[in-house]
């Protein structure tokens, strides 16, 4: 008998008694302190950065007025609220039709979704929570980009609805974080997760396997430390190389070798075996199937990835 890995879908079904799907939302005008120059320049090496992308130059320009506003004077707010409504309406209908979803968790996904004036954040969060059949929010952010005011407000909301914060942990090794130009150290991530838990918030941690210079033992140590910090859910990602990134330049110069599928499967198996049973799994791999992918090619084909993952998990008595 193979043991079923506890998934986030199972968690949500237990919590709400029905099929709950995450609705990904991308808000225009949002950016990242590692893109606009606040903590670093150019973004993480695996992300499209402002030396390649004119759209991110615009994100930098927005910082000049957007982050200085402390009221609802944000001239983009009405547009952002309409955008939020349109995206939710379109995606929730598709999820209901294709996957039988009956309730929804609004997922603020792109860029850093606590990196804005509090009034703007509050308006967007409140709007999302008033959509029909929404049971809560999941907010993707960076550990260096969330204020105590936002923590406190989310904690207040969590007494009435489901609230999740998703932090990009990536690695607990400072040398790795410096090499990928992350813009903060591992202690910053640890402190943010501890603070989120002290406020009673649910936390999902994102882990990337195959970061430059990391060994199998380093990847597993990151996973184990993330569990020890008290995360409630986890996403596992392999690092892949896409065009128009600093990592693509490193790859072209022979300075970076992507993780092999065999090594990824080894690390994933051991990370899952070390995972506490109550920690749900939201993602076990990632990839992209378009012309922007450079390497590794095994990240291109989703069905092939999942066949390989299921075979690997079968070897250790697990199933996803």
Q: Supply the pLDDT for residue 66.
A: 44
Q: Supply the pLDDT for residue 153.
A: 98
Instruction: State the total domains in the chain.
Output: 1
Residue 273 has, within 13 A of its CA and on its CB side, a CA count of 14
Q: Supply the pLDDT for residue 274.
A: 97
Mean pLDDT of 204-221: 98
Structure-token pair, residue 281 = 């799994």
Which residues fall within 8 angstroms of residue 129, CB to CB, at 6 or more apart? 106, 136, 137, 157, 161
Which residues span the domain enclosing 212? 3-319
Peptide bond into 296 cis (omega under 30): yes
On whether the pTM is more than 0.95, the answer is no
Whether the pLDDT of residue 108 is over 60: the answer is yes
Whether the pLDDT of residue 52 is over 90: the answer is no
Structure-token pair, residue 21 = 């799907």
Whether the pLDDT of residue 69 is over 50: the answer is no
What digits encode the pLDDT tens for the residues 226-265? 999 999 999 999 999 999 999 999 999 999 999 999 999 9
Mean pLDDT of 204-231: 98
Whether the pLDDT of residue 12 is over 60: the answer is yes
Instruction: Report yes or no: 281 and 5 within 8 Å, Cβ to Cβ.
Output: yes
* Angle, vertex CA 86, rays to CA 116 and CA 130, nearest 5: 70
In this prediction, residue 201 has a pLDDT band, given cuts at 50, 70 and 90, of very high
Name the more confident of 107 and 68: 107
Mean pLDDT of 86-104: 97
What digits encode the pLDDT tens for the residues 117-160? 999 999 999 999 999 999 999 999 999 999 999 999 999 999 99
Mean pLDDT of 275-289: 94
Instruction: Report yes or no: 188 and 239 within 8 Å, Cβ to Cβ.
Output: no
Whether the pLDDT of residue 68 is over 70: the answer is no
Q: Supply the pLDDT for residue 71.
A: 45
> At which residue do the structure tokens 């749900």 appear?
280
Residue 232 CA to residue 7 CA, distance in Å, equals 11
In this prediction, residue 48 has a pLDDT band, given cuts at 50, 70 and 90, of confident
Q: Supply the pLDDT for residue 16.
A: 98
C-alpha distances in Å from residue 63, one per residue of 32, 119, 120: 9, 16, 14
In this prediction, residue 41 has a pLDDT band, given cuts at 50, 70 and 90, of confident
Mean pLDDT of 92-105: 97
Packing angle, helices 148-157 and 118-129, rounded to 10: 20
Mean pLDDT of 155-171: 97
Q: Supply the pLDDT for residue 73.
A: 61
- Which strands form 280-283's sheet, in the order they lie side by side? 20-25, 103-108, 134-141, 162-170, 202-209, 233-238, 280-283
Residue 88 CA to residue 86 CA, distance in Å, equals 5
Structure-token pair, residue 174 = 């400072």
E-strand ranges in 150-201 read 162-170
What digits encode the pLDDT tens for the residues 290-309? 899 999 999 998 899 999 99
Mean pLDDT, the chain, as a whole number? 91
What digits encode the pLDDT tens for the residues 71-94? 446 778 899 999 999 999 999 999
DSSP result, 205-271: EEEEES-TT--HHHHHHHHHHHHHTT-SEEEEEE--EESSBHHHHHHHTT---PPPHHHHHHHHHHH
Name the more confident of 66 and 225: 225
CATH number at 150 reads 3.80.30.30
Percent of the chain with pLDDT over 70: 92
**Residue 85, SS3?**
helix
């Amino acid at each position: 008998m193979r043991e079923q890995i506890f998934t986030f879908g199972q968690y949500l079904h237990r919590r709400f008694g029905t099929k709950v799907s995450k609705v990904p939302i991308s808000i225009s005008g949002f950016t990242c302190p590692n893109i606009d120059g606040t903590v670093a320049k150019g973004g993480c090496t695996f992300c499209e950065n402002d030396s390649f992308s004119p759209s991110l130059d615009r994100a930098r320009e927005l910082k000049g007025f957007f982050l200085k506003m402390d009221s609802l004077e944000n001239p983009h707010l009405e547009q952002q609220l309409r955008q939020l409504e349109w995206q939710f309406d379109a995606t929730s209908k598709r999820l209901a039709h294709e996957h039988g979803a009956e309730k929804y968790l609004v997922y603020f996904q792109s860029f850093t979704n606590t990196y804005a004036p509090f009034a703007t954040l509050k308006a967007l969060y409140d709007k999302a929570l008033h959509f029909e059949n929404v049971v809560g929010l999941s907010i993707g952010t960076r550990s260096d980009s969330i204020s105590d005011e936002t923590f406190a407000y989310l904690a207040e909301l969590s007494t009435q609805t489901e609230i999740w914060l998703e932090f990009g942990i990536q690695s607990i090794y400072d040398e790795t974080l410096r090499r990928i130009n992350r813009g903060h150290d591992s202690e910053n991530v640890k402190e943010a997760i501890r603070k989120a838990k002290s406020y009673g918030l649910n936390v999902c941690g994102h882990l990337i396997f195959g970061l430059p210079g990391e060994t199998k033992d380093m990847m597993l140590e990151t996973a184990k430390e993330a569990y020890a910090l008290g995360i409630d859910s986890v996403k596992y990602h392999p690092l892949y190389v896409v065009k128009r990134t600093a990592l693509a330049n490193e790859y072209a110069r022979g300075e970076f070798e992507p993780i092999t599928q065999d090594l990824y499967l080894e690390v994933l198996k051991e990370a899952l075996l070390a995972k506490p049973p109550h920690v749900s799994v939201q993602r076990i791999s990632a990839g992209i199937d378009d012309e922007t992918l450079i390497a590794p090619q095994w990240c291109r084909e989703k069905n092939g990835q999942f066949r390989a993952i299921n075979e690997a998990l079968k070897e250790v008595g697990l199933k996803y």
